[in-house]
Copies of this chain bind each other. A is one copy, B any other.
Amino acid sequence: MPSVIPEDSVGLVTPELLHFSEPLALACGRTLPAYDLMVETYGELNASRSNAVLICHALSGHHHAAGYHSLDDRKPGWWDSCIGPGKPIDTRKFFVVALNNLGGCNGSTGPSSPNPETGRAYGADFPVLTVEDWVNSQARLADRLGIGQWAAVIGGSLGGMQALQWTISYPERIRHCLAIASAPKLSAENIAFNEVARQAILSDPDFHAGHFQEKGVIPKRGLMLARMVGHITYLSDEAMGEKFGRELKTDQLNYDFHSVEFQVESYLRYQGEEFSGRFDANTYLLMTKALDYFDPAHAHGGDLAKTLAGVQARFLIVSFTTDWRFSPARSKEIVNALMAARKDVSYLEVDAPQGHDAFLIPIPRYLQAFSHYMTRIEV
């Protein structure tokens, strides 16, 4: 809780729920008859409507990207280090839009919402969404806000994939794409980790084929395990080593299976426990599927340069040296394809020990380059 809101904060913010009544056709072949999006904005849209920036969130993110909902908040929004007056995404210059994606569990229509056909929660009957579907729903959001073209679409990880998809789906509606700690598609290993997380949830007896809400339970064990395995991939071996090493929780070994022996076990169990209390299991499944399915080059025989032939945006691609979930090599695939397609791309590889999570952390070199790029954007 901040005793005083910091000067470089966007301050107190209030999310807004926007209703969309025009049906949305989805990649899976189904149609959402209507839906809500939970949205937060920071800064002011200028008269020429040329200064709007869209923030796309990653797997477990949401609309609350910056500032505080109340003075009692323990922490600000998830990307507060990058959004605010004087920060890389400077709210004195830009009108910033953040949303909870469709299928999410933070207010937007998702598996926990009532299915108009049954009156009960969708549960596992909620359609599986793709990055393209999200971008289409975000385009509707732009229409609603009167934004013809984004000055920039920005995201890390799965958020970066949405930013990239924007340049392909709506080339004329995005001037700059910033894809941070991202990849043009998942590797087999990435899919494998997602599959373990899904099986953990699906095999939890409390999952009840996705209709656990009707039973008054949540698949807590499955969600815990999914988060624990995910969390390992967000940190680098180095970061974990520096943070926990082999430090024991108590003075001596317990020689049993239940006790928390090492600090890292305690940390992981806490992360899993905390997450299982706040995140919806069906949303988690849906998000991992969207990740698995993302492969924009697939429609062009795997040729990413060809896929990007029609894009008009300029790009900043950022990676972090110890990120092994989406390593620098994966970012370079995007950079190389953009260069082959003769597009305008800047690339920054940040030397950082924090692994994939680095994109959320205020690393000076990263913020500096991020700010520099954003300063050059004309509005």
Binding site for B on A (CB under 8 A): 27-29, 124, 127-128, 185-189, 191-193, 195-196, 198-200, 202-205, 210, 221, 224-225, 228-229, 232, 235, 237, 240-241, 243-246, 253, 255-258, 261-265, 268-269, 272, 285, 289, 292-293, 295, 324
Q: Chain B contacts of A203 at CB under 8 A?
A: 221, 224-225
A192 and B127 contacting across the interface, CB-CB below 8 Å: no
Report the minimum CB–CB distance from A221 to chain B (whole Å): 4
Q: Chain B contacts of A263 at CB under 8 A?
A: 188
B264 and A285 contacting across the interface, CB-CB below 8 Å: no
- Nearest residue in B to A258 (C-beta to C-beta)? B202
A210 and B127 contacting across the interface, CB-CB below 8 Å: no
Report the minimum CB–CB distance from A173 to chain B (whole Å): 26
Complex-state Cα separation, A269 to B198, whole angstroms:
11
Complex-state Cα separation, A152 to B141, whole angstroms:
69
Contact of A189 among B237, B289, B292 (CB under 8 A): B237
B257 and A289 contacting across the interface, CB-CB below 8 Å: yes
Contact of A228 among B191, B195, B253 (CB under 8 A): B195
Q: Chain B contacts of A245 at CB under 8 A?
A: 188
Report the minimum CB–CB distance from A233 to chain B (whole Å): 10
Q: Chain B contacts of A262 at CB under 8 A?
A: 188, 191, 292
Q: Quick one: given A193-B232, A261-B292, are A187 and B225 in contact (CB under 8 Å)? A: no
Known: A192-B268, A199-B272, A203-B224. 20 other contacts (CB 8 A): A188-B240, A188-B243, A188-B262, A189-B240, A189-B241, A192-B232, A192-B240, A192-B265, A193-B232, A195-B228, A195-B264, A196-B229, A196-B232, A200-B225, A203-B225, A229-B229, A253-B293, A255-B289, A262-B292, A324-B324
